[in-house]
Structures are given as C-alpha cells and as structure tokens.
Amino acid sequence: MEKLDNFLLDIVDKTAYLTINRPEKLNALNRATLIELSTILKRLKEDTAVRGIILTGAGEKAFVAGADIAEFNGLSEDKARELAAWGHQEVMDVIYSFPKPVIAAVNGFALGGGLELAMACHLRVASEHAKLGLPEVSLGLIPGYGGTQRLPQLVGRGKALEMIMTGDMVTAEDALAWGLVNHVVPANRLIPTCLMLLEKMYAKSSSAIARAVEVVNTGLADSEKGYHAEINAFGTAFSSPDFKEGVSAFLEKRKPNF
C-alpha cells in the first residue's frame, strides 16, 4: 500500500485500489486532492499491469461529501470558470473517457462534487447506507463538474431536475431504482462486488473495452456521430490481436487469452 498526500493506492494483481484519504474532511475534494488525482490517473493509465480501478473513500461515512467549500470563498467569476474547466478537463472527463474500467465504490455520502466524481466513473456500486445528492442550490450554485449533464443521462430529465432543484439526498435503493447506481450491496460486500465486476471484464478484450467506452461516450455527446464511431471502431477491431485471439479461441472451443 502506497500512502500519498491525499490518497491510498494499492495495486494488487491487475486492480488499482484508489482511496481518497481525507476522512476527517469526509474526503472533500479540495484543489490539492484533485491535482493529485489527476497525476495518479495519468500514472495508472500508462501502467500496463493495471487493468481496472476501484475508487472509494476512506472511513465508513463518506465516499466524497462534496467539494471543499472554503476554497470557493472569494472566487471571482473568471476564477470560478477556470476551476470548473480545469476539474472537467483534468479529472472528470479523464475518468469518463478512461480506457480501463473505473468503478466507484460508494461507501457513504456522495454529495456535490463527490456524486459528480462517481458519475464520471463507468460503473457505480453503492453500500446500503449510502446517500447521494447534488445540494449546490443550497449555496446559490449549480453543479460545476458535470452534474447537470451526466445526471440526466443516467436518471432522465425529471428525476435529475428534482435532485438538482431540491438539493435533496436520495437513498441507495432509490438511486438503484432510478439507474444512478448499478448495484446496492451490504457494506462488507462493496469492494468484493466491484472486484467481481472487474474480473469479468479482465476475461474480455481490453482493447475492445476501451473502444466501447469511446464509442458510447461519442454517441451520448452526439447520437449521429455515435453510429459512425461505432462502424469505424468495429472495423478497426478486425485488425487487432485481441480479435484474432478471440476468434481462434472460439473456433478452438477454449477460453481466450487476452
């Protein structure tokens, strides 16, 4: 286990267990934490031994209970825009388009920037006691790290606006029913469930998974471009080593070695 300034990083076999380690602040996202996360993501992207990431928060109370509001005090309009743009480009969008599976293990409160961080991940698994919400309107703000865009994609416009305009938290069970999280499990099954999902993906083609993420994201941004992206990626896959191995394994009635 590697202890960093604001994170714990443990790489076991093919999986990177990345824990936001600010439990005394309920793992709130200050700028230093986001900068460090950006650096770690670059490192894990380049590490060929790592096939997937489980992202969670330290302690039993919170995944991430929001942004560090103290850092907002005194920001000008221009500085606030710069902050949001940097967070999008260097962290949230990086996770959203990451070529390796990233699963958020939501172990408690996921509020504001914390929920936005979870929504940027490919999948979300929540413990039974988790609470999720976007309370920014209580501060006279709106979500600034993708919440107004990703939440409607997951739960629909009506539910998204209800969460955003009331600022209310929702339970893990409601989040599951609405499509905000993929699974809800007891706390002691949270990490094992995330690992089970990753191990299913490890048995599949990593290059195909990376292409699937890219094409799905393209289609969500622009549905017409999505179809063209799918056609192109489908064709490109035919020249990949993984395709050759996958077809050979199928014809030889064996498991592929990806």
Instruction: Kindly name the residue from 2, 71, 116, 230 that is annotated as catalytic.
Output: 116
> Token pair of 96, please?
């959203």
Please tell me the distance from the alpha carbon of residue 87 to that of residue 76, in angstroms, as a whole number. 16
> Token pair of 72, please?
């907002």
With bands split at pLDDT 50, 70 and 90, how would you rate the model's confidence at 69?
Answer: confident
- Please say if 224 is a catalytic residue: no
Task: Return mean pLDDT, the chain.
Answer: 97
Instruction: Kindly name the residue from 2, 36, 136, 245 that is annotated as catalytic.
Output: 136
Please tell me the distance from the alpha carbon of residue 91 to that of residue 140, in angstroms, as a whole number. 24
Q: Please write the tens of the pLDDT for every residue from 210-253.
A: 999 999 999 999 999 999 999 999 999 999 999 999 999 999 99
Could you tell me how far CA 245 lies from the centroid of its own chain? 30
Please tell me the distance from the alpha carbon of residue 147 to that of residue 151, in angstroms, as a whole number. 6
With bands split at pLDDT 50, 70 and 90, how would you rate the model's confidence at 70?
Answer: confident
Residue 74: per-residue pLDDT: 87
Q: Is the pLDDT of residue 73 over 90?
A: no
With bands split at pLDDT 50, 70 and 90, how would you rate the model's confidence at 142?
Answer: very high
Backbone angles phi and psi of 95, in degrees to 5: -65, -45
- On whether the CB atoms of residues 205 and 242 are closer than 8 A, the answer is yes
Q: Is the pLDDT of residue 33 over 90?
A: yes
Strands across the sheet with 109-111, in order? 62-64, 109-111, 131-133, 170-171
Domain range annotation of the chain: 2-202, 206-251
- Please say if 136 is a catalytic residue: yes
Q: Please write the tens of the pLDDT for every residue from 146-173.
A: 999 999 999 999 999 999 999 999 999 9
Mean pLDDT confidence for 80-103:
97
Degrees, nearest 5: CA angle 147-110-130:
135
Report the topology of domain 2-202: 2-enoyl-CoA Hydratase; Chain A, domain 1 (3.90.226)
Strands across the sheet with 102-106, in order? 2-3, 7-12, 15-20, 52-57, 102-106, 123-127, 183-185
